[in-house]
Structure formats: structure tokens, C-alpha cells
Amino acid sequence: MATKENQKTNINIQIDNYLSNTTLLILTFVLSLVYFGFSRFSDGFYMHDEIANFNGMQNFWGNPMSILGANSKTGYKLFFVLPALGGYSVLQLFNSFLAGFTVFFSYKILQQLKSKYSLIIFFLLGIQPLWFMLSFRSYAEILVAFLLVLATFQHFNKKYVFAALILSYVAFTRQELHVLSGLYFIYLVAKKQWLPAVLTGTFTVINFIIGFVQTGDFLHVVNEIKTYSEQLKDAYPRQGFDHYFLMSSVIFGSLNVVLFFNYLGSLILQKIKPVWILLIPVLVVFLLNCAFNAQFMEFSIGNGGNLRYLLTISPFLAIIGVLSFDNLALLKPRWKIGLFLIPLIILIAVYQTYDHNFIKLNEEIRNWSSLIFALLTFGLILIPIPIKRLVLIISLLAIAVGFSIIDTRKIEPEEKTVKKAAKWFNDQVKISKNPQPGQQVLITENSRLAVSHTLFYFYAGKNEAEFKNRPVSLVKEATDTLKVGDLVVWDSHYGNRPKLRPGSQPYEFYENDPKFQKIQYYQSSDRRFTIVFFLKVKD
């Protein structure tokens, strides 16, 4: 690595030729198409949020203000409203290329830092386990990762105005990342870059103005965030401050974890300054999410320990892993790095050798793969072979790590059941338009729905704006407004979640209410999920 801070230290390194832009673009297109191809085999859902996000993007065209809100990830949905018009497969393709070009610009950053081993980023990031699994899915984290990498690329090009604007949009996409735009503001002020410093708040100010126009309250955004945080402070479990430490090998792969500490150790041993613009986001975002999950304190709202929240720093972690090879080439003798890696290996052996469900570890079932790959990475680092050969072997090992963790998602019994229910609803609407003798008309296209399960819209093939009477949320305040002929679509997953939606009600509430009549229900094959249609028959 030969940044300005340590150029004198590494002046003897001869920089290799880098890939031409054409070759780099071909590799990026191939990787993006691999992501999209994987989506054809992994046709289930990692979480239902990906469909909720897709629905939100489509709802924009009927109600642009629908993407505003404390937890709406406004910048994310606004970015995708055009691709979403093409349908879910088009959105998946767009997501795949966004993930692919994140790798592209990560390579470009390594080129700016004069790394000799930039190509390995296609392995350390391109097939990083969770990154690969979610590359095509509709989550804000992939977009945020892309924007953070793009902002960093602009920073190294000294295009601070663009870097500031991009970081401002990152904060517009995920509110908690105002901490990064705030830190960059301080950096720019210290560098006397006054215009870029001001621009770090561009989209925050725009958000405040929109809130003021909408409500007449200039602090509407702040007040809404406070209200939302108070409402949801206990809605999601806090997995513990150490949760992401324990799950780091699942998210990034133990190979990347070892290489990250290889980088830190080599910095200390060689007294080299780190590339702070890469290291600070990793530490800040990681520790911030740890704090969200802390059980010994209430720091904002819990996030349930969802692993995907750390995808925002996956590119930086991989870039740092590549730079660790540049540092390792200068470390003599190599065994010194063992002072930092041996304690890490012990921690992995003790705390990370368990099975998991991509949410948390299952300490009743052992899984030694993370330790095995960590030991292999450690052993290869210590062997005195040329760095180029080491990088080649590590690339092959990265493929093995990826395939040991990467998993496809198939349609679950719950989703199949919602699909049946949505088909029944569509069939009933068709019957109402041209009823045949003996067919009973239960509902029509004019029936207003109260729905809580986002997959119902997805399988019905409509977003909320496409219904003749816009559906309402499944809470008592909304269902009280329903008229005769309207429909409650209650389900056992989302129908009664009082911590998330205080006005939601249990099944018995509608079952025992004489104003409603149960007209159809479906139960999943595993008997863990039920969806029920209640028709309003009395005012």
C-alpha cells in the first residue's frame, strides 16, 4: 500500500499494471449476471422486508409522500422508483448490477491506493457470503454500500463536492448514518473545504423542507424520529452488544475477518498509518450496530440483530483485506503477525464454532467451518511463499468460504399460503364481474381491504394505489372505518403485533365481533401460519 501518508515507507514497491477499463467492465458485468442468475435459484425471501420495499417503490407513483417517514429509507426507495416500474425481476437485475459495480469501484479505490493485488477484491467482496446471498435483493444496505464506496472513490480523486453530496444522500437513505456525514463534515472543515462541508447536509435540509411543506412543522423529521423510536423501542429484540462480533464470520466469512486483523497487526508492527477513510466507517458502523443491540443500555431502538445491516461496510472490510497483502509483503519476518492472529483464532474457536440460522448462533450444534477457514488463512499467511502466490491461493480459499456459507432461499409454507389466499381473492373479484349461475358474490373490486401481510399485495399483483379503494392498515382505528362489503385479511404473522402497531388485534377480536363474518381461511402445510378473510356484514 502506498498512500501519501506512507509513500516513503513503500517507495521500493513496483506497481503492477492494472486491468483496462474494458476488462474491468466485462468482469463486473459477468459478476452482476452471476448474482442475477443466483436469484433464479434462490427464489424465496431472506426477509419479507424486500417485498415491502418493492411495494413501497411502486406505491410512490400513486402517492409520492408514501416514501417519507422515520423508517421509510426515503433515499433508497426514491433511487429505485423507476426500475421498480419494470417489475420485481427488473428490480433484481438492477440490484445485481449495483452490487457488481460496488466491486468495480472497490477495485478503483485499490488502484488509487496503488495496491498490487487489487484483483482479489472480486473474491474477497464479490463472493463474500452474505453479500453474495443478498446482492440481488431489495435492501437499502447494498445501495448504501455502493454510495459509500463511490463517495470514497470521489474523495481520493479530491472531488470533495461529489463525495459530500453522496454522503448526504447516504444519510437520507439510512438516518443513523448521519454520524458518517457528520464526521466527514468535521474533516472537511479541518481541511478548509467550506463548500463541500456545507453540502454534507444537503439532503437532510431537503428532508426537513419536505416535512415542513407537508406538516407546517420544520422539525417534523426530528419529532417523527422521536415518536417512532419511542413506539418501537421494545418491538425488536436486542441480541446483545457482542452479537455482531459473534456473527462476523457468518456475515463476512472468517477469511475476511482474519485479513482485517492481519491489516491492523501489520500497521502496528510496521508503524504505518491506517487509511482512516476506510477504517473509520468500518469501526463506526460496526460499533453503532453493536450499541443498538446492547442489553445493558437502551441506545435508540433495537434492530433485531439483522445481519444485513453490516453489508454497508462489507466493501471496506474487503478493501482493507486486500491492503493487508501489500503490508504483509513488507513485513519481515512474517511470523510476527501471529502475535495478533493467534488470539483471534482462539476467539473464533471458542465463540464462533456453532451452527446458525442467519440470525444468531445455535450453541447446541457445532459447526467448525469458520475455525477451519480461519486456520487455513492463518497458516497460509505464515508460510514464506511469494505474496502473489499467496493471493492466488487465498482467492481459491475465498470461493470455498463462500460456498460453505452461501445458501439459497426457497418459498416457505407461509409464503405459499399467502399466495393461495391472494389467488382466491383475485378469483372472487373476477367472479363478481361476471357471476355464473350458482356462484355467490362475496366481494367485489370496490371492497376495501385491511391488510398487514406485505406479500398479499405482491402475490395479488397489485400495489396499494392500484386498488379501487386504497387498502388500510390492519389496526382497529382503520378497521373501524370499514363499510359493509369491505374485507379484513388477518394473518397470524403480522396481524397481531401490538409492539409494532399498537392498534393491531388478535384473531379472536374479529372472530367474536358480530360485524364480521369469516368467509375463507388458509393454513400452511406446517400448521404454523394462518390467513383468514373476514367480511364486514354489519355497520
CA distance 528 to 539: 33
Cα torsion through 349, 350, 351, 355, rounded to 10: 60
Sheet holding 487-491, edge to edge: 472-473, 449-451, 487-491, 530-536, 516-523
- Pick the closest to residue 534 from 514, 509, 510 (CA basis): 510
Which amino acid type is present at position 486?
D
CA distance 129 to 317: 13
Please determine, for residue 91, whether its predicted confidence score (pLDDT) is greater than 90: yes
Give me the numbers of helices (H) and strands (E) for the chain, helices first please.
23, 7
CA distance 84 to 94: 9
Digit-coded pLDDT (tens) for 50-69: 999 999 898 888 888 777 76
Decide if 232 contacts 301 (C-beta within 8 A): yes
CA distance 52 to 139: 10
Decide if 267 contacts 324 (C-beta within 8 A): no
Residue with cell 373479484: 429
* Residues whose CB is less than 8 angstroms from the CB of residue 221 and which lie 6 or more positions away in sequence, other chains included: 70, 207, 208, 211
Q: 3-state class of 86 per DSSP?
A: coil
Determine the pLDDT at residue 231.
65
List residues bridging with 366 in a β-sheet.
Answer: 354
Q: Where are the beta strands (DSSP E) in 19-141?
A: none
Which whole-number Å values give the CA distances from 526 to 130, 385, 416, in the listed order?
A: 27, 54, 11
Predicted structure pTM score: 0.92
CA distance 256 to 101: 20
Which whole-number Å values give the CA distances from 520 to 418, 457, 479, in the listed order?
A: 13, 18, 18
* Residues whose CB is less than 8 angstroms from the CB of residue 345 and which lie 6 or more positions away in sequence, other chains included: 258, 371, 374, 375, 378
Digit-coded pLDDT (tens) for 229-241: 666 666 678 888 9
CA distance 102 to 146: 5
- Pick the closest to residue 137 from 419, 417, 464, 408 (CA basis): 408
Give the cell for residue 152: 470514497
> What length is written for the chain?
539
Determine the pLDDT at residue 42.
93
At residue 438 the predicted structure's pLDDT band, cuts being 50, 70 and 90, is: confident
Determine the pLDDT at residue 298.
75
Give the cell for residue 331: 513485513
Residue with cell 485479513: 259
Q: Is 202 exposed, middle or buried (0-12, 13-18, 19+ CB in 10 A)?
A: middle
**What are the helix (H) ranges across 352-412?**
369-382, 387-405
Decide if 475 contacts 502 (C-beta within 8 A): yes
* Domain extent listing, the chain: 21-405, 413-536
Helix (H) or strand (E) holding 361: strand 361-366
Please determine, for residue 44, whether its predicted confidence score (pLDDT) is greater than 80: yes
Residue with cell 437502551: 298
Determine the pLDDT at residue 502.
84
Which amino acid type is present at position 451?
V
- Pick the closest to residue 522 from 486, 493, 479 (CA basis): 493
Digit-coded pLDDT (tens) for 286-345: 999 999 888 877 776 767 889 999 999 999 999 999 999 999 999 889 999 999 999 999
Digit-coded pLDDT (tens) for 123-171: 999 999 999 999 999 999 999 999 999 999 999 999 999 999 999 999 9
* Residues whose CB is less than 8 angstroms from the CB of residue 181 and which lie 6 or more positions away in sequence, other chains included: 164, 167, 168, 170, 171, 200, 201, 204
Decide if 258 contacts 344 (C-beta within 8 A): yes
Which amino acid type is present at position 363?
E
Determine the pLDDT at residue 23.
95
Q: 3-state class of 327 per DSSP?
A: helix
Determine the pLDDT at residue 70.
61
Q: What are phi and psi of 469, to 5 degrees?
A: -115, 115
List residues bridging with 530 in a β-sheet.
Answer: 523
Q: Is 65 exposed, middle or buried (0-12, 13-18, 19+ CB in 10 A)?
A: exposed
CA distance 493 to 481: 23
DSSP structure class, residue 360: S
CB 491: neighbour CB atoms within 10 A?
24
Q: 3-state class of 414 per DSSP?
A: helix
**What average pLDDT does range 395-402 have in this prediction?**
93
Residue with cell 425481476: 89
Give the cell for residue 476: 382497529
List residues bridging with 489 in a β-sheet.
Answer: 451, 533
Share of residues in the chain with pLDDT > 70 (%) = 94
Q: 3-state class of 521 per DSSP?
A: strand
Decide if 141 contacts 338 (C-beta within 8 A): no
Please determine, for residue 6, whether its predicted confidence score (pLDDT) is greater than 60: no
At residue 197 the predicted structure's pLDDT band, cuts being 50, 70 and 90, is: very high
